[in-house]
Every structure is written in C-alpha cells, then in structure tokens.
Amino acid sequence: MMNRTIIKPVAVLGGISAIMAMMLGFVHYSTLKPIAAAQNAKILAAISEVAGEFDNDPYAEKQLITTPDKKQKFEMYPARLDGKLNAVAIKSYTNTGFGGRIDLMTGFNVDGSIKTFKIISSNETPGLGSKTDEPRFKSQLNGFHPQKQILKVRQDGGDVDAVTAATISSRAVLRAIERAFAAFHNFNSRGDDDK
C-alpha cells in the first residue's frame, strides 16, 4: 500500500519535469536564430562604423587571421569599394580590462594605419573605463600607425593619452588593438591579401 502512494506522486513529478524540460529545450532552440541574428547585426554595425564606406558584404567574406605567434585567431572582415579593398575590420579582445574581457572591432586602412575602433562588449566601469569608447579617446588613434608610433599609454612610454582615472581600461583597449594589428600585419606579410 505504501509503495503505491509513493509511486503516483513520483510519476506525476517525473512527468511534469519531462514536460518542463521539453518546454525549456523548445524555448532555447527557438531563440538560437534570433540571438545569432542580433549578434550578427551588432557585428555588422561595428564593421560599418570602423571600416568606413564599402559596397560588399564583409560578413560573408570574413576570414580567420592569426597573430605571428599563432596563439590568437581573430575574425577579419574585408571592406571593399568598387571591388577594391578599402579597409578591414578586425574583431579582437583582451582579458586585461578593469572589469575583465573587452571585445572590440578595429578598422584599419590598407596601409595598416588605424581608422577607428568600436567596443562591442565590456564590463568596464560606467563613467570611467567605458570612456575609452568615446570620441575624446578614440580620436587620437585616427591615422595612428602602430609601426611608426608607440601604441601604449604615455605612462608606459607610448604616444596615447589614457582616459583620466581609467588607465587600466585604456591599456586593455590598446592591447586589443595591438593584437589585431599584429594579426593584420602577419596576414599582409604572408602575401595573402587580395587588394
């Protein structure tokens, strides 16, 4: 008699759990495409912001490029105008931000100079580290060439003014850009570019 009273509630709970698991699986599966589409739209908006004018689909032409030491792989998006390479956008990251990881998109001219950059995601302190994505900091990198200038904050002997009270965030952003440039330079030095 006791076994029957236990079996029924266990079976009901098991059935409810199975139904809930199926519902959660369905919700998860049905949101995968919209989430991916939103992420792709965010990346395409960042490419548009950093690469300037283009008439191709950089997202469709993306390539993986590596740093010279082969330790990091980054996505490179070529931006073409009238069939000719106009610029590239490179998605890179660093884990050295004040709040941890920073993902950003950097635009480079074909000669390797920086067009601009856009932070895609970060956990930097609002009002401090987040200021690295504002024009005052970003504008000093327009036309900056990492082979001709030192891509470090002035406190470290470089040519870039850090955001006041956000030196760690400034260093992290410059590190991510430096890694993107290293991968782009490595890609170009192998003769793989198709300008």
How many domains does the chain divide into? 1
β pairing state of 63-66 and 114-122: unpaired
Q: Is residue 141 part of a domain?
A: yes
Whether residue 102 lies inside any domain: the answer is: yes
Instruction: Specify if 24 maps to a domain.
Output: no
Query: How big is the chain, counted in residues?
Result: 195
pLDDT at 74 over 90: yes
Would you say residue 9 lies in a domain? no
Asked if the structure places residue 23 within a domain, the reply is no
pLDDT at residue 39, as a whole number: 77
Query: Which of the residue ranges 38-42, 72-76, 114-118, 160-164 would you say has the lowest mean pLDDT?
Result: 38-42
Q: What per-residue confidence (pLDDT) applies to 75?
A: 94
Domain assignment present for 183: yes
Phi, psi of 112 (to 5 degrees): 95, -5
- Tell me the residue range of the domain where 175 lies: 51-189
- The pLDDT tens digits of the residues spanning 50-70 come to 998 899 989 889 999 998 888
118-170 pLDDT tens trace = 998 887 777 667 788 888 899 999 999 888 888 889 999 989 988 888 888 99
Distance CA 171, CA 160 (A): 10
Residue 116 inside a domain? The answer is yes
Q: Kindly report the three-state secondary structure assignment for every residue of 62-116.
A: CEEEECCCCCCEEEEEEEEECCEEEEEEEEEEEEEECCEEEEEEEEEECCCCEEE
- What is the token pair recorded at 167? 């030196």
Confirm whether 104 is domain-assigned: yes
pLDDT of 2: 56
